[in-house]
Amino acid sequence: MPEIKHETFMKRCFNLAKRAEGFTNPNPMVGAVIVKDNKIISEGYHKQAGEKHAEIVAIEKAKGNLKSATLYVNLEPCSSFGRTPPCTEKIIKSGIKKVVIAMSDPNPAHNGKGIEILRKAGIEVIEGILKPEAEDLNRVFIKHITKKIPYITVKSAITLDGRISDYTGSSKWITSEGLRFYFHKELRSKVDAIVVGINTVLKDNPLLSARRSDNSYYKKQPVKIILDSKFRIPQDARLLREIKSDVIVVVGDDVTRTRKKKFLEAMGVKILPQPLKNGKINLPRLVKDLYKLGICHLLVEGGGKVISSFLEEKLADEIYLAYAPLIIGGRNLFYCGREMKLSRGIRVKNLSFKKFDNQIIIKGKLNYVYRNNKIPR
Q: Are residues 212 and 290 in the same domain?
A: yes
377 within domain boundaries:
no
Count other C-beta atoms under 10 Å from residue 215's C-beta: 9
CA distances from 272 to 149, 247, 281, 316 (A): 17, 10, 11, 21
286 within domain boundaries:
yes
The residue range of the domain holding 54 is 6-138
Single residue among 83, 116, 138 that ends a domain in this structure? 138
Q: Are residues 201 and 299 in the same domain?
A: yes
CATH number for the domain spanning 342: value is 3.40.430.10
Q: In which residue ranges of the chain is pLDDT below 70?
A: 1-3, 81-84, 243, 370-377
CA distances from 203 to 74, 209, 224, 226, 239 (A): 44, 17, 17, 13, 13
Catalytic residues: 55
Report which residue type is found at 304.
G
pLDDT of residue 316: 95
Q: Are residues 128 and 229 in the same domain?
A: no
232 within domain boundaries:
yes
341 within domain boundaries:
yes
pLDDT of residue 198: 94
Q: Are residues 196 and 336 in the same domain?
A: yes
pLDDT of residue 242: 77
pLDDT of residue 112: 87
Could you write out the three-class secondary structure of 17-41?
A: HHCCCCCCCCCCCCEEEEEECCEEE
Return all residues near 207 (Cβ < 8 A) that are at least 6 apart: 238, 239, 242
Phi-psi region of 217 (alpha: psi -120 to 50; beta: other; left: phi over 0): beta
3-state SS assignment for residue 246: coil
376 within domain boundaries:
no
1 within domain boundaries:
no
Q: Are residues 178 and 157 in the same domain?
A: yes
CB half-sphere exposure, 373, CA atoms < 13 A: 0
Output phi, psi for 164, to 5 deg: -110, -5
Provide the number of structural domains found in the chain.
2
Cα–Cα dist 67/58, whole Å: 15
CATH number for the domain spanning 17: value is 3.40.140.10
Q: Are 296 and 192 in contact (CB under 8 A)?
A: yes
CB half-sphere exposure, 306, CA atoms < 13 A: 25
Q: Are residues 131 and 255 in the same domain?
A: no
Cα–Cα dist 251/73, whole Å: 44
348 within domain boundaries:
yes
Q: Are residues 103 and 169 in the same domain?
A: no
pLDDT of residue 3: 60
Cα–Cα dist 109/306, whole Å: 35
Q: Are residues 134 and 152 in the same domain?
A: no
pLDDT of residue 82: 66
Total-model pTM: 0.90
3-state SS assignment for residue 208: coil
Q: Are residues 201 and 291 in the same domain?
A: yes
Q: Are 16 and 31 in contact (CB under 8 A)?
A: yes
Instruction: Give the distance between the most distant pair of CA atoms in the chain.
Output: 74
Single residue among 84, 118, 138 that ends a domain in this structure? 138
Single residue among 138, 163, 185 that ends a domain in this structure? 138
* Nearest in space to 351 (alpha carbons), one of 340, 362, 337, 338: 362
Q: Are residues 67 and 200 in the same domain?
A: no
Q: Are residues 275 and 351 in the same domain?
A: yes
Q: Are residues 223 and 90 in the same domain?
A: no
CA 320 to chain centre: 12
Could you write out the three-class secondary structure of 55-79?
A: HHHHHHHCCCCCCCCEEEECCCCCC
Cα–Cα dist 138/14, whole Å: 10
